[in-house]
Amino acid sequence: AQKVTQAQTEISVVEKEDVTLDCVYETRDTTYYLFWYKQPPSGELVFLIRRNSFDEQNEISGRYSWNFQKSTSSFNFTITASQVVDSAVYFCALTVLLTGGGNKLTFGTGTQLKVEL
């Protein structure tokens, strides 16, 4: 069975601060995929990143960066110079071996990020 833990329930920062959202996962599979999604108050899920278990390279996309470390089973997400528009719930998720038809995701409990002026 898979499990995703997001220990931070809520984080509040002031605009322009950097913030890191933690994600720790558990799986016995050697091939798996990790995701981060953003859920704004409107409810839709916005895809941010997908990373497979064989690619431990860190990734940067604008103000977003991700640190994947298999040794600690962590896939942390950092927002640099946070903005009010970053306020949302962020979910980390895990699936094992994507098949042609897609695969079900196991979600963490989410981290509510509040960015204030």
Partner 1 sequence: GAVVSQHPSWVICKSGTSVKIECRSLDFQATTMFWYRQFPKQSLMLMATSNEGSKATYEQGVEKDKFLINHASLTLSTLTVTSAHPEDSSFYICSAGNPTGSNQPQHFGDGTRLSIL
Q: Which is nearer to partner 1, 71 or 101 (CB)?
A: 101
Q: Tell the smallest beta-carbon distance from residue 79 to partner 1 (Å).
A: 19
Task: Count how many Cα atoms sit within 13 Å of the Cα of residue 4 in the half-sphere of its side chain.
Answer: 25
Is 12 within 8 Å of 71 (Cβ atoms)? no
Is 78 within 8 Å of 65 (Cβ atoms)? yes
Q: Which is nearer to partner 1, 62 or 102 (CB)?
A: 102
Q: What is d(CA 14, CA 84) in angstroms, rounded to the nearest whole number?
A: 9
Stretch that binds partner 1, among 22-30, 58-66, 71-79, 108-116 (CB under 8 A): 108-116
Among 1, 54, 61, 101, binds partner 1 (CB under 8 A): 101
CB-count burial class (<10 Å; 0-12, 13-18, 19+) for 99: exposed
Among 11, 24, 96, 105, binds partner 1 (CB under 8 A): 105
Count of positions on this chain that bind partner 1 (CB under 8 A): 24
Which residues, numbered 7-66, are part of the site for partner 1 (CB under 8 A)? 35, 37, 42-45, 47, 50
Contacts of 50 (CB under 8 A, 6+ apart): 33, 34, 35
Residues of the shown chain interacting with partner 1 in the complex, contacts defined by CB under 8 A: 35, 37, 42-45, 47, 50, 91, 95, 98-110, 112
